Structure 1
Amino acid sequence: MRRVVIISDTQIPYEDKRALQNVIGFIKQTKPAEVVHVGDLMDFPQPSTWSKATRAEFEGSIYQDSELGKKYLAELREAYSGPIKVIEGNHDLRPRAYLAKYAPALAESRDFDLDQLLDFQAYDVTLIKGFYDITQDWTITHGHLGFSISHIAGRTAQNAANKIGKSVAMGHTHRLAISRESFGYQGKISTLTGFEVGHLCDLKKAHYLKNGGANWQQGFGVLDIDGSYVHPQGIPIHKDKTFSVDGFKYGGK
């Protein structure tokens, strides 16, 4: 079967370094057919709409943060030679959205686009905006494009699947769960799956969280694909940053 590994919401520079390194190690050992970062690879906290009219707007850290993003891509590319795709998330687009709103005359340069800031060409990474159809019946997206958000893990992806009529794997919620709903008529049954693939950021670094807590689950996703058959697996990351897949433990000493 063809295996696709889905990473979500690293939100560099707020990434969990140890968890991310262990996932890269897993990718290196197992050599999947494809790696898809499903969005919010970067956080880009300043400047952004959120930092407008604050000190952060004038300080900025876009280029400094971008160097950290390049470091991650270099490490991933060193470990893995296969196809890498990145879907643009709402945090990834902060710089270009800021430029388009407050300096539109400069926006045509594309200098603040994610693929330019992180030099995707140098690392042979493909940028995707919106949706990536992995099969005829499954699509992958970040999850910020007009879907009803639920605090119940898996429900946001299920809402998205029901809305567009195909199964959805997504990030954005930072939750890790699989949801399924079946619909039948005259003995014919179809099932839609909503798959939320967790996150790989460090809650302690996320200054916008009160006391470093949230209804999030750290982990990543795996899709095993054989033609039209897709088997999703959510891989939870434990407190010691280890995890198990197919009966094997990864990340331990």
Structure 2
Amino acid sequence: MSVEEMVIIPDVQYPLHDTRAVRNLWNYIKTTQPASVLIIGDFMDYTAPSRWSKGTRAEFETDVMRESDGGRALLGDLRDGYTGPIRFMEGNHDARPRDYLAKYAPALAASGAFHVETLLDFEGLDIELLQPFTEIAPGWVAMHGHELKGLSQIPGRTAASKARKLDRSVVMGHTHKCAVSPETVGLGKDRRTLYGFEVGHLMDESKAQYLAGGVANWQKGFGRLLVGQYSAAPAPVYAERDGSFVVDGERYGAIKRNSRGHFIGKEARSAA
């Protein structure tokens, strides 16, 4: 039986994204042409229109429309080389302009002008907006991750807790962690394994001011879901500091290193 690959793009948070990691992933998608692509939320960052910036200077430092232009161009780069279906699940950051308008200018909110599907031109790019908890494969549902409360510091365990609640295997973003956490439930012939699959992030951590030079338990990477007729297998892919990664024995976006493991070549300074 044939198995189809679904590539799951985690939190990009444009313009705070890792440009090399994103470029390498776009190249992988263009080269392999997977059966489908799922953007699982927080593709945009939208720092300014949020409760964190309300009433501060940061509220006026960015432009939602200009930021959307850049995000739309990044999606356009993906669509230019990929002919298959692209689906998009809204994250809490993607919803910030819509939520901000609804709270502080409700008379303007009904236009839908600040919904992510409008800002990023899903119609023009042929991108389908999915609702949370949509079944994406046999026994699997997708969510961004903010829809149900509760976060674990252990990679994979947040998604595993959602899987227990929903009695379905769960793939999600939001945590910026990249891991699979399985749980076997039931007795006898009714035993089955549920998977919690967190698909990492594609941010440049140095751009995240809220980390303030600290270290977060995050893992850069993305997800692959290998979908068969009756089940699906999760396959996390981890990215290195230089934004490169390996899938099926092929490295995408490799930068040469010397014998001590240090970056060399024209991108060495920025990569290190």
TM-score normalised according to structure 2 size: 0.90
Q: Distance in 1 between matches of 2:60 and 2:246?
A: 44
| Uncovered stretches (5+) of structure 2, i.e. residues with no partner | 256-272
Contact 1:147 1:159 in 2 (8 A): no
Q: Please give the per-residue CA displacement for 1:118-163, whole angstroms capped at 9, x wherever unaligned.
A: 1111111111231221124101110111132100000000001001
Q: Are 2:59 and 1:65 aligned? A: no
Question: Which of 200, 203, 210 pairs up with 2:202?
Answer: 200
Contact 2:35 2:85 in 1 (8 A): yes
Question: Which of 83, 97, 100 pairs up with 1:98?
Answer: 100
Question: Which of 72, 77, 82 pairs up with 1:75?
Answer: 77
If you compute each CA radius of gyration, which structure gives the higher value, 1 or 2? 2
Q: Distance in 2 between matches of 1:112 and 1:211?
A: 32
Measured after TM superposition, the shift of residue 210 of structure 1 is 1.9
**24-33 or 203-212, which deviates more:** 203-212
Alpha-carbon RMSD across the aligned residues, in angstroms, is: 1.2
Helix, strand or coil at the partner of 1:71: helix
Aligned to 2:249: 247
| Uncovered stretches (5+) of structure 1, i.e. residues with no partner | none
Counterpart AA for 1:105: A
Contact 2:202 2:220 in 1 (8 A): yes
Q: Distance in 2 between matches of 1:211 and 1:10?
A: 20
Measured after TM superposition, the shift of residue 56 of structure 1 is 2.7
Q: Please give the per-residue CA displacement for 1:178-198, whole angstroms capped at 9, x wherever unaligned.
A: 000111324531111000000
**34-43 or 140-149, which deviates more:** 140-149
Helix, strand or coil at the partner of 2:191: strand
Q: Distance in 2 between matches of 1:60 and 1:105?
A: 23
Question: Which of 138, 148, 169 pairs up with 2:150?
Answer: 148
Counterpart AA for 1:204: S
Q: Distance in 1 between matches of 2:13 and 2:131?
A: 17
Counterpart AA for 1:156: T
| 1:206-217 matched pairs, under 5 angstroms | 206-211=208-213, 213-217=215-219
Counterpart AA for 1:163: K
Question: Which of 231, 239, 252 pairs up with 1:229?
Answer: 231
Question: Which of 106, 109, 125 pairs up with 1:107?
Answer: 109
Aligned to 1:117: 119
Helix, strand or coil at the partner of 2:134: strand
Contact 2:18 2:243 in 1 (8 A): no
Question: Which of 9, 24, 33 pairs up with 2:35?
Answer: 33
Measured after TM superposition, the shift of residue 175 of structure 1 is 0.2
Helix, strand or coil at the partner of 2:210: coil
Q: Distance in 2 between matches of 1:58 and 1:245?
A: 42
Q: Distance in 1 between matches of 2:226 and 2:130?
A: 21
Measured after TM superposition, the shift of residue 238 of structure 1 is 1.1
Measured after TM superposition, the shift of residue 59 of structure 1 is 4.3
Counterpart AA for 1:9: D
Measured after TM superposition, the shift of residue 64 of structure 1 is 1.3
Aligned residues: 253
Q: Distance in 2 between matches of 1:135 and 1:31?
A: 18
**46-55 or 190-199, which deviates more:** 46-55
TM-score normalised according to structure 1 size: 0.97
Contact 2:20 2:242 in 1 (8 A): no
